[in-house]
């Protein structure tokens, strides 16, 4: 169990870590305005722009969350030769993130998620995305891997944040896993693809519940305890993932780990008190969890910290970050965990763990 005393010690160790984040870098833009009337051209509202806000999104938001906790962060990814790239790079600089690993590909568009926000209702009205989603070229892939080799040599953990925008190809993911293995450092991967073989080699696979079900080919319905256990077992057996951390929104997190030949399950209750905006909560959980295991703590302790961080960030608007002070304040409210072997329903699953 994490206490305020050992959490503070953990945060001190975090400041000495180097974290490499590889993935799809994005820029989030929020256009705030007042809706005054309906357009005479079509039955749609007319918004008068008041002000604009920008923040890092996708893998860039993961990097920002790690940097906000004092760690040294290197981002590796691809942007286009456009104005969005200029703004994104400025935001990386502002966050203190090393961007020497960010390549420019004139043939691609930098991912921009533009949201129209109502001042009256304090909520999103519309979203427009600009992006390129096809895989990066073999030449760019080769350059990215050279940067991964260079940066990982001094890192304590690698994060792969996949948003299916073309950077994390199967080749880049598998070679990054091999590089991390060579240096004996953990690789934490957040998947979006439905092909689990793409992520083989990750030390920790960290999907949300929907992504988890799709990866395992299960339908997320019925007895949740049973199908989650079955999905975890099938992924662990087929692709040798030693650790699976499933984020479950208001239901917290579930950690699966291989221990002495068994697959052990530990449930962590949600620490959410109020939910204002879930945007970026997964990025926060991913970054905080990876940074915690970079310090050498057990995965269950890292999951507790990440769970608390996610519970804080959903109470903020947009792609927000959490601070060490906020997490320490919330630690006192941590609930306990329940540890068990999975509740199984198929004979092969039962035999595999000896129950």
pLDDT band at residue 344 using 50, 70 and 90 as cut-offs = very low
**Predicted pLDDT at 348:** 35
Going by the DSSP 8-state scheme, the letter that residue 121 receives in this structure is: T
Match 């965990």 to its residue by tokens: 337
Q: Express as a percent the part of the chain with pLDDT over 70.
A: 86
Going by the DSSP 8-state scheme, the letter that residue 162 receives in this structure is: -
**Predicted pLDDT at 354:** 29
Lowest mean pLDDT among 107-111, 325-329, 348-352: 348-352
**Predicted pLDDT at 242:** 94
Q: Are 140 and 4 in contact (CB under 8 A)?
A: no
The domain locations on the chain are 4-28+57-111+131-352
Beta bridge mates, 150? none
pLDDT band at residue 34 using 50, 70 and 90 as cut-offs = very high
Q: Is 283 known to be catalytic?
A: yes
**Predicted pLDDT at 36:** 84
Residues 6+ apart with CB under 8 A from 320: 277, 280, 284, 313
Rounded CA separation 61/77 (Å): 13
Q: Are 75 and 63 in contact (CB under 8 A)?
A: yes
pLDDT band at residue 317 using 50, 70 and 90 as cut-offs = low
CATH of 4-28+57-111+131-352, one of 3.40.50.300, 3.40.50.1100, 3.40.50.1110, 3.40.1190.20: 3.40.1190.20
Per-residue pLDDT at 249 exceeds 90:
no
**Predicted pLDDT at 58:** 95
Burial 51-84 (b: 16+ CB within 10 A, else e): eeebbbbbbbbbbbbbbbbbbbbbbbbbbbebeb
Could you report the per-residue pLDDT of 255-276, keeping only the tens digit for each?
Answer: 999 888 789 999 998 765 544 4
Rounded CA separation 113/127 (Å): 7
Could you report the per-residue pLDDT of 76-121, keeping only the tens digit for each?
Answer: 999 999 999 999 999 999 999 999 999 999 999 999 999 999 998 8
Q: Which of 28, 105, 229, 283 is catalytic?
A: 283
Q: Is 253 left (phi over 0), alpha (psi -120 to 50) or beta?
A: beta
Length of the chain: 355
Lowest mean pLDDT among 15-29, 58-72, 124-138, 222-236: 222-236
> What pTM did the predictor assign?
0.88
Q: Are 255 and 243 in contact (CB under 8 A)?
A: yes
């Amino acid at each position: 169990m994490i206490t305020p005393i050992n959490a503070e010690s953990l945060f001190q160790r975090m400041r000495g870590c180097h974290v490499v984040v590889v993935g799809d870098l994005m820029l989030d833009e929020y256009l705030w305005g007042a809706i005054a009337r309906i357009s005479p051209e079509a039955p749609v509202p007319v918004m008068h722009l008041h002000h604009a806000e920008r923040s890092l999104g996708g893998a860039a938001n993961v990097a920002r969350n790690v940097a906000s906790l004092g760690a040294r962060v290197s981002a590796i990814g691809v942007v286009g030769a456009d104005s969005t790239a200029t703004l994104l790079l400025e935001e990386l600089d502002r966050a203190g993130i090393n961007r020497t690993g960010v390549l420019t590909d004139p043939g691609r568009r930098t991912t921009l998620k533009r949201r129209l926000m109502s001042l009256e209702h304090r909520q999103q009205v519309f979203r427009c995305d600009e992006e390129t989603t096809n895989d990066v070229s073999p030449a760019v892939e080769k350059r990215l891997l050279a940067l991964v080799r260079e940066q990982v040599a001094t890192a304590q953990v690698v994060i792969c944040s996949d948003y299916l925008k073309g950077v994390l190809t199967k080749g880049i993911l598998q070679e990054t896993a091999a590089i991390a293995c060579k240096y004996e450092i953990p690789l934490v991967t957040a998947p979006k693809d439905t092909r689990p073989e793409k992520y083989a080699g990750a030390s920790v696979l960290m999907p949300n519940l929907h992504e988890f079900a799709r990866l395992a080919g299960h339908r997320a319905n019925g007895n949740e305890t049973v199908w989650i256990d079955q999905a975890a077992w099938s992924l662990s057996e087929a692709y040798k993932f030693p650790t699976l951390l499933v984020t479950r929104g208001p239901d917290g997190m579930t950690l699966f780990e291989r221990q002495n030949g068994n697959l052990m399950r530990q449930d962590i209750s949600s620490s959410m008190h109020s939910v204002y905006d879930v945007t970026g909560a997964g990025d926060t959980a991913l970054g905080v969890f990876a940074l915690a295991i970079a310090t050498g703590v057990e995965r269950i302790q890292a999951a507790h910290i990440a769970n608390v961080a996610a519970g804080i960030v959903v109470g903020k608007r947009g792609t927000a970050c959490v601070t060490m002070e906020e997490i320490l304040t919330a630690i006192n409210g941590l609930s306990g965990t329940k540890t068990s072997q999975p509740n199984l329903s198929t004979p092969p699953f039962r035999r595999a763990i000896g129950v």
